[in-house]
Amino acid sequence: MAIQRMDNVAIVVDDLDAAVAFFTELGMELEGEAQIEGVFADRTVGLDGVRSDIAVMRTPDGHSKLELTKYHTPAVSDAEPRNPPPNTLGLHRVMFAVDDIDDTIARLRAHGAELLGEVAQYENVFRLCYLRGPAGIIVALAEQIG
């Protein structure tokens, strides 16, 4: 038996509205929002007293999704260090293909994004960069040039 697809990647954020605005600016579309709580939620995630709000963001092609989650209870567990470097074990980054990397960076800076390094070119194929997005996650951008 094989998996059918990867459904989504979940990201826990402290400011759901700001995260939705960030990923909307990137070009994702809000698919839906919901409040999640109750025994089902507790059993699924293995925590007691879960109460959270989620927003599901979809890429324009409809194939990829992010689930942005704001926990109200239980209290959020803060990761150490707060803004881990790219070589930290665990979820590394989320990458998006963009049409214009310079324009995208400029628009995302208005939502608090910061470049980790600089825009670099890989041969005559891609321009790439890493930036820090909502809740300290690393968002990579790739512009195909060749």
Q: How far apart are CA 75 and CA 92, in angstroms?
A: 24
Task: Give the closest residue to 86 by CA, choosing from 127, 144, 139, 128.
Answer: 139
Residues 4-39 have pLDDT tens digits of 788 999 999 999 999 999 999 999 999 999 999 999
Structure tokens, 104: 């995208």
Contact by Cβ (8 Å): 55, 33: yes
Please tell me the pTM assigned to this model.
0.89
Asked whether residue 111 carries a pLDDT value surpassing 90, the answer given is yes
Contact by Cβ (8 Å): 20, 32: no
Write down the pLDDT at residue 89.
67
pLDDT grade for 60, boundaries at 50, 70 and 90: very high
Instruction: Report the percentage of the chain scoring pLDDT > 90.
Output: 74
Task: Give the closest residue to 31 by CA, choosing from 56, 3, 4.
Answer: 56
Mean pLDDT, residues 45-74 taken together: 94
Q: How far apart are CA 115 and CA 24, in angstroms?
A: 19
Asked whether residue 113 carries a pLDDT value surpassing 90, the answer given is yes
Asked whether residue 139 carries a pLDDT value surpassing 80, the answer given is yes
